[in-house]
Amino acid sequence: MTSIWAARPLADSDSTSPETGVGPGSSDLGGRGAERIRFYDYHPTPADVRAEVLQGLAQPVKRLPPKLFYDRRGSQLFDAITELPEYYPTRTEIGILRDHGSEMADRLGRGSVLIELGSGSSLKIQILLSALNPAVYVPVDISKEHLLASARALAERFPDLSIRAACADYSTPFDLPLEPGWQNLAAFFPGSSIGNFDPDDARRLLRRVASRLGGGGRLLIGVDLRKDPAILHAAYNDSQGVTAAFNLNLLVRINRELDGDFDLDAFEHQAYFNARESRVEMHLVSRVDQEVEVAGEVFGFRRGESIHTESSYKYGIADFHSLASDAGFASEQVWMDQEQRFTVHCLRVAGTWSQRL
Ligand code: AVI
């Protein structure tokens, strides 16, 4: 059987290996268990923040890409959001994983290779690793710092686990450090991060994952459910104002990195459920008529005009199955909490996907 996985970038002309730090003695990977970590750097292209911001602000309906939220401060604020009483997704998903981890492991196949897209919450992956006990764990994350810190912690906690950490941007076509012939490939994509992609992009991403997993591969994916708009409203308009600070931090970042002069007091955070699109939208709304300079360009805002900063799609179970099916997956099982707020789906790659996308 030919593997669709690449242990190194596939470009024939590229003779350098992405494997840059292996085993004991590497200063990067020091610590107990370091000999079981291999680090592969696929050099994800850094976002062209300037071009994306200038282009987004020049649109008739201004928008900024949500990936720009996650500078150092934005990542800290997001961590704080996951602890808020109103923000139910993180703790609900953790509860589902705790209650059903063993059934999930039965579905994924114990002893398999487990790939995690975005090595986010260490608690979620610890629950799954304990239940699944895979031979190899392949975390994929765009942040080298975050990836290595979490790989080190997991190597200490799981003494039999081999880790192949891949620094890559999973939202674009990506390679992975897997060996030809490895069977039982499973992927984990928690947090309803899929909800931050517009449906066409979500389909494209899932198609790429199906292609990487190959026929029979499994995907365990967390998906936030469509629900009472009041619950959604509270989750994205928390009483401590952490989500507002997370949203406004985008302007702080633009001021710092692009010599912007956004006045933070002249914009307000707004988040609401758009029922027609089945998504929570976050906006930064101008409180006054004003002009703002960014990277030497001037942008006019009318009072009440907004910048759309994030969409967070909420899916019914059937709707998500239909999206997954378009991407080449069949549904195997769905787990849900008692209050029916969040789902974790086990999907199987239908047929024999072997195409490289
Ligand atoms: C990361 N993502 C799944 C979060 C969400 O709920 O869409 C980001 C977030 N935005 C505001 N609060 C949390």
CA 236, CA 252: separation in Å to the nearest integer?
20
Instruction: Report in angstroms the alpha-carbon separations of 136 from 130, 259, 309.
Output: 13, 44, 37
Smallest CA separation from ligand 1 atom 6, residue: 312
Q: What's the count of helices (H) and strands (E) in the chain, helices before strands? A: 9, 14
pLDDT of the residue at 19: 67
Instruction: Report in angstroms the alpha-carbon separations of 279 from 75, 282, 301.
Output: 22, 10, 25
CA 310, CA 66: separation in Å to the nearest integer?
5
How far is ligand 1, taken at its centre, from the CA of residue 178, in Å?
30
Q: Which among 94, 254, 279 is positioned nearest to 201, based on CA atoms?
A: 279
CA 193, CA 51: separation in Å to the nearest integer?
24
HEC secondary structure over 290-327: EEEEECCEEEEECCCCEEEEEEEECECHHHHHHHHHHC
How far is ligand 1, taken at its centre, from the CA of residue 169, in Å?
18
Smallest CA separation from ligand 1 atom 1, residue: 193
pLDDT of the residue at 290: 98
Q: Which among 272, 268, 274 is positioned nearest to 282, based on CA atoms?
A: 272
pLDDT of the residue at 17: 58
**Chain segment 88-125, per-residue pLDDT in tens:** 999 999 999 999 999 999 999 987 899 999 976 689 99
Is the separation of the CB atoms in 291 and 272 below 8 Å? no
Which atom in ligand 1 lies closest to the alpha carbon of residue 193?
A: 3
Q: Which of 93, 170, 189, 196 to probe ligand 1 with, by most ligand atoms within 8 A of CB?
A: 196
Q: Is the CB of 238 under 6 A from ligand 1?
A: no
pLDDT of the residue at 40: 95
Is the separation of the CB atoms in 71 and 47 below 8 Å? no
**Chain segment 203-219, per-residue pLDDT in tens:** 999 999 999 999 999 99
pLDDT of the residue at 184: 84
| Ranges of the chain whose pLDDT falls below 70 | 1-17, 19-31, 120-121, 352-357
CA 206, CA 196: separation in Å to the nearest integer?
13
How far is ligand 1, taken at its centre, from the CA of residue 192, in Å?
8
Q: Is the CB of 118 under 6 A from ligand 1?
A: no
How far is ligand 1, taken at its centre, from the CA of residue 78, in Å?
8
Q: Is the CB of 195 under 6 A from ligand 1?
A: yes
Element (H, E) at 81: helix 72-81
pLDDT of the residue at 352: 59
Q: Is the CB of 192 under 6 A from ligand 1?
A: yes
Q: Which domains occur in the chain, in start order?
A: 12-45+83-227+315-349 (3.40.50.150)
Q: Which among 308, 266, 264, 263 is positioned nearest to 288, based on CA atoms?
A: 266
Tokens of 123: 């608690």
N residues, the chain: 357
Note the pTM of the prediction, 2 decimals.
0.91
Which atom in ligand 1 lies closest to the alpha carbon of residue 89?
A: 6
